[in-house]
Amino acid sequence: MEQGRASMTAIGTALMRAAHTRLDDPVLIDDPWADRLIRDRERSSVRAAHDGVDLETALRRHPSYGNVILRARYAEDALAEAVARGVRQYVIVGAGLDSFALRRPAFAADLEIFEVDHPATQQFKTSRLAECGIATPEGLHLVAADLSETALDDALAGSAFASQAPAFFAWLGVTPYLTREANLATLAAIARCARGGGELVFSYLDQRVFDVGDWPERAQRVRNVVAAAGEPWVSGFDPEVLAELLRGEGLELVENLGPDELAGRYCGGRSDGLHPSANSYIARARVG
């Protein structure tokens, strides 16, 4: 990844959250920050990846659009529950252009927030905040680390993260881009540092589709686009054996929602067509 340049998936995800905030009803995530932080040239790059189609149309038609919105809402619902139990540390793994610290909800007033991501993405974000005249929010800790080279717990050890205090981890939209080995290593690292009531929410794709190669047409188009941008999908998890796999890494599965369950929880009565895509899941786990 080039220095000072954000991942294209991070830019696209942020733009999706902003489009949802402006255009969908009811709003599940109120996140307008991409409209301030992302410049015209980055928008043009995203548009070009979709053959020049109107940007908002392309974003809302994207098969991952519903996943981006629903996983963010689910994670923040779970975070609010964790805060009510006394958790005061929030770690966003692969934070991209996440804006939680900028739009901090009332329930998160006392949270220490740790954004962990590749140095290039973090440099892009901090430079854009400065260009927009936005001070780094109080209680936000930027942890620059390439997690393909540095274990998550080692990266956090160099920050203000309190390893003996409970923490909530969000790991969203990242696992498909990592090898199975890298995903398992990150799960183990989270278990090592999410002690004393720690929790994790993460999203993933069904590994069985990778194994069979029977991708829906729209999903295959997305795979082609992200691969062309140098960010291919490479692995998933099997939802049928996820609980056993997590136990092996020191975590206990609390909830594992597929597209039907997510739609039932968040999409009932909507008229805007917001829905998760096939083969997409979100899981919640606690330190075992």
Measured distance CA(67)–CA(129) in Å, rounded: 26
Confidence class for position 230, pLDDT limits 50, 70, 90: confident
Check pLDDT > 80 for residue 2: no
CATH of 8-287, one of 1.20.1560.10, 3.40.50.150, 3.30.530.20, 3.30.70.2470: 3.40.50.150
* pLDDT mean over 268-279: 93
Confidence class for position 7, pLDDT limits 50, 70, 90: confident
Q: Which residues pair with 114 in a beta bridge?
A: 91, 141
Query: Could you tell me what percent of the chain has a pLDDT over 90?
Result: 76
pLDDT score, position 215: 85
pLDDT score, position 96: 93
Cα three-residue angle 196-201-207, rounded to 5 degrees: 125
pLDDT score, position 48: 78
Contact 94, 115 (CB under 8 A): no
pLDDT score, position 8: 83
Buried-exposed string 36-75: b where 16+ CB fall within 10 A, e elsewhere: ebbeeebbebbbebbeeeebeebbbebbbbbbbbbbbbbb
pLDDT score, position 9: 86
Look up residue 193 and give its two tokens: 């540092």
Measured distance CA(180)–CA(136) in Å, rounded: 34
Check pLDDT > 80 for residue 219: yes
pTM over 0.75: yes
Instruction: Give the residue from 183, 101, 185 showing the smallest Cα distance to 136.
Output: 101
pLDDT by residue (tens digit) across 43-90? 888 887 767 678 888 899 888 999 999 999 999 999 999 999 999 999
Burial class (CB within 10 angstroms; exposed 0-12, middle 13-18, buried 19+) of 245: middle
pLDDT score, position 241: 98
pLDDT by residue (tens digit) across 94-111? 999 999 999 999 999 999
- Map out the domains of the chain as residue ranges: 8-287
Q: Which residues pair with 89 in a beta bridge?
A: 112
Query: Could you tell me what percent of the chain has a pLDDT over 70?
Result: 97
pLDDT score, position 52: 66
**Please, what is the angle between helix 65-84 and helix 8-23, to 10°?**
80
DSSP tag of 135: P
Confidence class for position 242, pLDDT limits 50, 70, 90: very high
Average pLDDT, the chain: 92
Check pLDDT > 90 for residue 207: yes
Confidence class for position 1, pLDDT limits 50, 70, 90: very low
pLDDT by residue (tens digit) across 143-172? 999 988 899 999 999 999 998 899 999 999
